[in-house]
Amino acid sequence: MRALGISFVSYMFMLFVIIVVVTFHARDFDFGRAAAITAVYMTALLVYFAVLFVVFKRKIATTVHAQ
């Protein structure tokens, strides 16, 4: 769980970098565009973390039962 938390913080930093790059490229901050990028990114990230959680939980369960 700690690793997932640290990973989440690093992914949030990547979101910040993406928004900064898009803002400088467009030469104007548009809240709607930033919100859309955030919504898509967060949805993909939540699906990714849900899959990782299920995989880790199954892997831990099979490791415990194997012992």
Residue 43 to residue 60: CA distance in whole angstroms:
26
What percentage of the chain exceeds 90 in pLDDT? 61
Cβ neighbours for 37, distance < 8 A, ≥ 6 positions apart: 15, 18, 19, 22
Q: Which residue, 3, 1, 5, 35, is CA-closest to 19?
A: 35
Tally of domains within the chain: 1
- Residue 57 confidence class, pLDDT cut points 50, 70, 90: confident
Model confidence pLDDT, tens digit, residues 14-46: 999 999 999 999 999 999 999 999 999 999 999
67 pLDDT above the threshold of 70? no
- Residue 52 confidence class, pLDDT cut points 50, 70, 90: confident
Average pLDDT over residues 38-59: 91
Residue 23 to residue 65: CA distance in whole angstroms:
51
- Domain boundaries, position 19: 2-66
Cβ neighbours for 19, distance < 8 A, ≥ 6 positions apart: 34, 37, 38
